[in-house]
Structure 1
């Protein structure tokens, strides 16, 4: 059963849930993914798909791994730079803008991808698919617009 069916979207998109979620989910998912070789994650247990995105740090040049909820379109992955509704862009999104080549780890399989930021109609179509997976993204948009003028970036991760 998906978490979004058990808990109202308004609560899942709240700043309180985000404050806890951004501290708990990424760390727990990374640990569980490593220990289980990609078979177990907290996010997946809540009924949402999870991938690990490996980017290259734009300042450090070091590998950075981020667990992300995603949607699919064909063989591509769609991800949103929501940063849990915070006013700043997430580091992984800025890393993709600097270097679009990345690796997706999906259930222990490493998949080389090239990222592309989506705009206009293509972004709107991807956003609809992402909302099906995590309806709280709309709450994040409202919160982001209250604190900044940033737009939540949406990326297509195309398999190489």
Structure 2
């Protein structure tokens, strides 16, 4: 994607209207295309790197598959941001990882077992700065909500 294209996508993704529509459209489209292409294509990953998080539901105990943007880290880990598109509540997948931190991701068509760690304190602050440099619209999402957006580091098991 060109620099202009990235700026346009960042501007659109920061809009309140996007936050109202995207949580229903983007994940459904990602899940469908990912399934139909047997894990080879994740449409939202054309804008940002993305994974399909496979975890256990906190209350139901059922498998949950959630397409998410991610920030790959040097050394093979990933950061996941529980922004919920700047909506008030924490996304359900964050509660799932708090209860069941062992999960799996589909990353570029490969299934990777991971363990999730909720970041706090200075570790979170450093990761948050990196995330904002990577995708500035997260600052807009944080400004819209009173809660602190959860930030997880996934490490391969």
TM-score, structure 1 normalization: 0.89
Q: Find the counterpart in structure 2 of residue 90 from structure 1.
A: 91
Deviations 1:40-70 (A, max 9, x none): 222122x311100011001110000111111
Moved more, 94-103 or 10-19: 10-19
Deviations 1:64-116 (A, max 9, x none): 01111111222111001111111111110001101111101112211111110
Q: CA shift at 1:119, angstroms?
A: 1.0
Q: Does 1:151 align with 2:152?
A: no
TM-score, structure 2 normalization: 0.91
Q: Find the counterpart in structure 2 of residue 125 from structure 1.
A: 126
CA RMSD of aligned residues (A): 1.7
Count, aligned residues? 155
Task: From the superposition, tell whether residues 34 and 79 of structure 1 become closer, same or farther in structure 2 (CA, over 3 Å).
Answer: same
Residue 49 of structure 1 contacts residue 69 of structure 1 at CA under 8 Å; is this kept in 2?
Answer: yes
Q: CA shift at 1:10, angstroms?
A: 4.5
Alignment of 1:1-160 (within 5 A): 1=1, 5-7=6-8, 9-45=10-46, 47-73=47-73, 74-145=75-146, 150-160=147-157
Determine helix, strand or coil for the equivalent of 1:28: helix
C-alpha distance in structure 2 between counterparts of 1:57 and 1:8, whole Å? 31
Give the unaligned 5+ runs of structure 2: none
Moved over 4 A (4+): none
Deviations 1:136-156 (A, max 9, x none): 1111001112xxxx1100000
C-alpha distance in structure 2 between counterparts of 1:71 and 1:128, whole Å? 12
Residue 4 of structure 1 contacts residue 135 of structure 1 at CA under 8 Å; is this kept in 2?
Answer: no
Determine helix, strand or coil for the equivalent of 2:145: helix
